[in-house]
Amino acid sequence: RKEVEQDPGPFNVPEGATVAFNCTYSNSASQSFFWYRQDCRKEPKLLMSVYSSGNEDGRFTAQLNRASQYISLLIRDSKLSDSATYLCVVSSSNTGKLIFGQGTTLQVKP
Amino acid sequence: EAGVTQFPSHSVIEKGQTVTLRCDPISGHDNLYWYRRVMGKEIKFLLHFVKESKQDESGMPNNRFLAERTGGTYSTLKVQPAELEDSGVYFCASSHTGARWTGELFFGEGSRLTVL
């Protein structure tokens, strides 16, 4: 079983749509949670950290449910520029050893 | 400020040959990491340097892989001899050591390795 599981998609949505990605993790000792974004053939970049209380950054909202070991990312009012692969990432330490999910691909169409 | 740079961007070698990948982290970043993504799989941790010391090399697949960071600046990852299953994208990342870890690693664009 993978340590971090994501639906690979692809998710094809029209501009302006709301789309949600989910992720589950297996290690209950995980301490830190993130969403990274990766454009095609580019490097992963931190999109946002995920906190237990939930957090929002503009059109992006991240939620964490520790009891269910479940993380989500909601994107509202999708833009063409949101097309990318979204990587669910967890860490059980503060050393930079990150555990990645396989990524969920989003394609936003005009 | 320059980001993390990796060289070469793409390398094609035959099974049994040797390849050396280089990573230049962001200036001032003590932490340097190697990750790799093989086809169809997730990005996986290989190892972590703090300055010139190996902090964690638990992700190194076997002794055909050798990573160095002499002087605590750039790092190299050598694969010798290369096998078919080593094909993939090797990412380097760096971060600074601060009082509060934000979880943000700065990745390079990766070195794509193809072993034929």
Residue B78: CB atoms within 10 A of its CB come to 15
Task: Please report, rounded to a whole number, the percentage of residues in chain A having pLDDT higher than 70.
Answer: 100
pLDDT, tens digit, for every residue of A46-86?
Answer: 999 998 888 999 999 999 999 999 999 999 999 999 999 99
Chain B interface mutation, best of A98, A99, A105, highest count of B Cβ atoms under 10 Å: A98
> Would you give the end-to-end CA distance of chain A in angstroms?
37
Q: Which residue of A6, A32, A49, A97 to mutate against B (max B Cβ within 10 Å)? A: A97
Neighbours of A41 (CB within 10 A): 10
DSSP code per residue over A41-98: TS-EEEEEE--TT-EEETTEEEEEETTTTEEEEEE-S--GGG-EEEEEEEESSSSS--
Q: Which of B31, B55, B103 sits opposite A49 (nearest CB)?
A: B103
Give the strand pairing for B31-37 and B44-50. Answer: antiparallel
Task: Say how far apart CA A100 and CA A96 lie, in whole Å.
Answer: 12
Distance CA A25, CA A36 (A): 15
User: Does residue B99 surpass a pLDDT of 60?
Assistant: no
The pLDDT assigned to B40 comes to: 84
Whether A85 contacts A106, CB under 8 Å: yes
Report chain B residues whose CB lies below 8 A from the CB of A102. Answer: 41-42
Interchain contact, B45 vs A44, CB within 8 Å: no
Model confidence pLDDT, tens digit, residues B14-71: 999 999 999 999 998 999 999 999 988 999 999 999 999 999 999 999 999 999 998 8
Q: Give the integer Cα–Cα distance in Å for B79 and A104.
A: 30
Whether A54 and A110 have beta carbons less than 8 Å apart is answered as: no
Is B31 part of the contact surface with chain A (CB cutoff 8 Å)?
yes
Q: Please tell me the predicted confidence (pLDDT) of residue B107.
A: 96
Whether the CB of B105 is below 8 Å from some CB of chain A: the reply is yes
**Do the Cβ atoms of B55 and A95 come within 8 Å?**
yes
Q: Cβ contacts (< 8 Å) between B48 and chain A: which residues?
A: 95-97
Q: Which residue in the set B56, B104, B109 is minimally distant from A95, CB to CB?
A: B56
Q: Return d(Cα B100, Cα B114) in angstroms, integer.
A: 38
What the block records as the tokens of A9 is 């998609």
B104 touches A: beta carbon within 8 Å: yes
Report chain A residues whose CB lies below 8 A from the CB of B33. 96-97
Tell me the sheet residues that pair with A33: A90
> Is B53 in the A-facing interface, judged by CB distances under 8 Å?
no
Q: Is the separation of the CB atoms in B77 and B70 below 8 Å?
A: no
Asked if B103 is an interface residue toward chain A (Cβ–Cβ < 8 A), one would say yes
Q: Answer whether residue B103 shows pLDDT above 80.
A: no
